[in-house]
Amino acid sequence: MKAFERIAAVPKANALILPAAAIVALVTQVPLVVTLVLSVVKWIVVRPDLGINFIGLSNYFQIFTSREFYSVVLNTIALTFVSIACCTILGIAFAHMLNRRFPGVNLARTIMIAPFFVMDAVAGIVWKTLMLHPSFGINGLVASWLGVAPVDFLGQHPLLTVVMLVVWQWTPFFVLILLAGFESISEELLDSARVDGASAFRTLFQIKIPAIAAHIEVAVMLGLIFILKTFGVIYVTTAGGPGISSTNLPYIVYRTGFYRWDVGRAAAMAIVTVILTLVTITALFGFVRRKTREAEA
């Protein structure tokens, strides 16, 4: 009876939220529940004769006892954190350079952010064939001019090359956010620093960067969310290889689901990936928030 009274006490206008809540639940929670259900079955698509069987937590057990999985987790961590570190440093450097008035500044800013608007797959194919290919790309051309053997970027340094492409693509995003931060610093603050005789170097590190700490936080958080799920660049350049040397968590889920056609294992990997991603984001968010407060204090 009390519960009924509580429901009756809720303003009727709140019911208007129900359609939106239902749509959000449908597009976010239903796929999650379906993936959870699939993660406890054995279902090989190319073997319909074996059927779909409930196997409990076996898929999870196999994932956590596989060395391949831990290598992939390490690849994901390396790819994500090295990319974010590079994007942040380059983002601060470029944003600082572009935060001044000079002839053609708008053109320079437009050119700077252009890579961010190129689709993953297109960027990957262009880099793979026209730039890095040892026989057909600029790589081969430069090597022949210099009289040396071309570097096999995708074969010898696959993860590093993927990091390079991710940094090329995502640095402009960091620049956009950090440039807004630099532009928001009050002139009075900078004038005070100049009057006090602070060098340009000291002004940057002790005035400007602490002043844009909140912008850095936003750029890092959004960058983390997007770079953790890098897929297109890997798919078209290295296909996760050679071996699993450039395979990250989203790609291993795809490989398990669409090469092995093992739907159950792929679903279990997807669930583990979601959990690891949430834990990482929450931990990093806490860390960045702490550092931001320290900088602001």
Partner 1 sequence: MKKTLILVALVLVVLGPPALAQGKPTLTIATVNNPDMVIMQKYSAKFTEQTGIALDFVVLPENELRQKVTEDVGLGAGKYDVVTIGTYDTPFWAANKWISSLEPMFKGMSAAQAKAYDRDDILPPIRSALSANGEQFAIPFYGESSMLFYRKDLFAAAGIKMPSAPTWDQVYDMAKKLTKPSAGQYGIALRGLPGWGQNMAVFDTLINTFGACWFDMNWNPQFTSPEMKQAWEFYKKIITDAGEPGATTAGYTECLALMSSGKAAMWYDATVSAGTLQGADSKVKGKIGYALAPTVKKGNAGWLWAWSLAIEASSKNKDAAFQFLTWATSKDYIKLIGENVGWAQVPPGTRVSTYENPKYKAAADFATMTLNAIKNANYDKPTVDPVPYKGVQYVSIPEFQGLGEEVAQELAAYIAGSKSLDDALAASQAAALRVAKEGGYLK
User: From residue 32 to residue 71, what is the string marking binding to partner 1 with x (rule CB under 8 A)?
Assistant: ------------xxxxxxx---------------------
User: From residue 245 to residue 274, what is the string marking binding to partner 1 with x (rule CB under 8 A)?
Assistant: x---------x--xxxxx------------
Residue 144 binds partner 1 (CB under 8 A): yes
Report, in Å, the least distance between residue 8 CB and partner 1. 46
Pick between residue 205 and residue 258 the one whose CB is nearest to partner 1.
258
Pick between residue 139 and residue 277 the one whose CB is nearest to partner 1.
139
Task: In whole angstroms, give the CA distance from residue 40 to residue 269.
Answer: 11
Task: In whole angstroms, give the CA distance from residue 255 to residue 85.
Answer: 28
Pick between residue 175 and residue 267 the one whose CB is nearest to partner 1.
267
* The residue to which tokens 């090359």 are assigned: 161
Report, in Å, the least distance between residue 31 CB and partner 1. 15
Strands (E), the chain: 41-42, 53-54
Residues 6+ apart with CB under 8 A from 276: 73, 249
Residue 244 binds partner 1 (CB under 8 A): yes
Specify the DSSP class assigned to residue 16: G
Residues 6+ apart with CB under 8 A from 256: 262, 265, 266, 269
Beta bridge partners of 42: 53
Binding residues for partner 1 (CB under 8 A): 44-50, 128, 133-136, 140, 144, 147, 149-150, 152-156, 158, 239-245, 255, 258-262
